[in-house]
Amino acid sequence: MVVVHHNEKLEPIFGYFKRGTTHIAVVTKLFTYEFKDPERRVIGIVTMEDIIEEIIDDEIEDETKAHVEKKEEERNTAKKLALLFADTQA
């Protein structure tokens, strides 16, 4: 895992990812205070997928997400069909 500063450019981070050692980086930011020592906090993560999506300016469709959405759509269709054929007069 790589730790990067919040204002670091994407190109060097993508270079880490292309080397194949990791595909995720922890994003940190330095917070300074008047009467306290500065502290570095984790403010997020960035993945290879995030960078590629920025390059192509489009969202990458995840196979698992697409499969789950398809199953949910099938369940909704089945529920609608069940309601159509349900005995509502009982």
Position 25 scores a pLDDT of: 92
Domains, the chain: 2-85 (3.90.1280)
**Which tens digit of pLDDT belongs to each residue from 6-62?**
999 888 888 888 888 888 999 999 999 999 999 999 999 998 888 888 888 877 776
pTM of the model: 0.59
- Distance, in Å, from the CA atom of 27 to the CA atom of 54, rounded to the nearest integer, reads 16
Higher pLDDT, 47 or 64: 47
